[in-house]
Structure 1
Amino acid sequence: MATSTDTTASAISLDLYDQPGHLIRRAHQISVSMFHELLGREVTPVQYSVLRMLHELPGLDQVTLAQRVGLDTSTTADIAVRLEAKGWIVREVLPRRQRRLLLTPEGEKLLVQFTPAVNALSHGLLDGMGEEDAQQLLRLLRKFVHLNNDQSRAPLRSSTDDTASG
């Protein structure tokens, strides 16, 4: 018969380094560290995501932008203020107090300058894994994000279907 001590021990017997949450947190730490190593600290990974989305879909309003990059609207508004202060975007007021966001020429120039480092980052994060493992990791990460999207504080939303594509 199992005692409560046995039950407790078995419940926490999974090695910390085998727990998905711990591994995802560590992977995020590593990714952010490598981002700053290659791109500096002028822009954060989240700010870069916002700039990239505005490059891909110019003129998005803040709410749609937040949905497209998986941020809450207040965080997106704070980021927009910072990016505008740096001269990388402009915010235009639309009816009903929405704001349309556009990259400035300086913002476009920054993205062009960052492209080689971002490509190096993408390769560096997967370096040593081999092509098949790297593609499998990306496929599984996309699947994980898709399956758990609604658990996020700020679920990713696209224009084609109200969920992240996976």
Structure 2
Amino acid sequence: MPSDAAPPADLLAIELYDQPGHLIRRAQQIAVSVFYEEVGREVTPIQYSVLRMLQEKPGLDQVRLAQEVALDTSTAAEIAARLENKGWITREVLPRRQRRLLLTAEGEAVLARTVPGVRRMQQALLSHLEADEQREFLRLLRKFVDLGNEYSRAPLRSGSASEALAPQET
């Protein structure tokens, strides 16, 4: 016969710093803080991702851009409108109300200015780990993100998530 009594508190306790969700949230806080410290506040981390993707794949439409950087379509549209207002991208209306996105010369210049800061940010985030730990950390992080992609509100829809998350040559 099941008991209606609540289990003892110690059975419910999970050490906060053993919870992946908490640690990932903290890692995100740290990454954003270091981004602003090293890159500055001219561009946000998400704007940087959008600009970087448009540099890599010029002419993406807004829906495809959202899929490529794992944003919901309304967020991608808002960011694109802000970037257009800043003069960093242009949005061309295509048939069926799609919008083709292209970097402007100003957008390219913004990206060029961010590159040294992004490199410093990456170094700062990984510098406390040994070289083999850095590779293993990034490998496991890519694997975690790849395997959990479908749980996201805005799953990555690149050529393939595995391809987008594959280790990059440095």
TM-score (norm 2): 0.90
Tell me the equivalent position of 1:67.
67
Within 5 Å, which residues of 2 pair with 1:79-90? Answer: 79-90=79-90
Within 5 Å, which residues of 2 pair with 1:1-166? Answer: 4-6=6-8, 8-12=9-13, 14-159=14-159, 161=160, 163-165=161-163, 166=165
TM-score (norm 1): 0.92
- Partners of 2:33 and 2:75 in 1: how far apart? 21
- Per the TM alignment, residue 11 of structure 1 is displaced from its structure 2 partner at its CA by 2.6
- Partners of 2:71 and 2:162 in 1: how far apart? 13
Aligned Cα RMSD in Å?
A: 1.5
- Partners of 2:42 and 2:99 in 1: how far apart? 24
CA contact (8 A) 1:89 1:107 kept: yes
- Partners of 2:44 and 2:117 in 1: how far apart? 14
- Partners of 1:15 and 1:90 in 2: how far apart? 48
Q: Which amino acid aligns with 1:70?
A: A
Q: Which amino acid aligns with 2:11?
A: S
- Secondary structure class of the residue paired with 2:63: helix
- Per the TM alignment, residue 5 of structure 1 is displaced from its structure 2 partner at its CA by 3.1
Q: Deviations over 1:88-143 (max 9, x none)?
A: 00000000000000000010011111111101101110011111111111000100
- Partners of 2:152 and 2:131 in 1: how far apart? 30
Sequence identity of aligned pairs in percent? 60
Q: How many residues align?
A: 161
Q: Which consecutive aligned stretches of 4+ in structure 1 deviate over 4 angstroms post-superposition?
A: none
- Secondary structure class of the residue paired with 2:7: helix
- Per the TM alignment, residue 164 of structure 1 is displaced from its structure 2 partner at its CA by 4.4
Q: Which amino acid aligns with 1:158?
A: S
CA contact (8 A) 1:156 1:164 kept: no
CA contact (8 A) 1:91 1:99 kept: yes
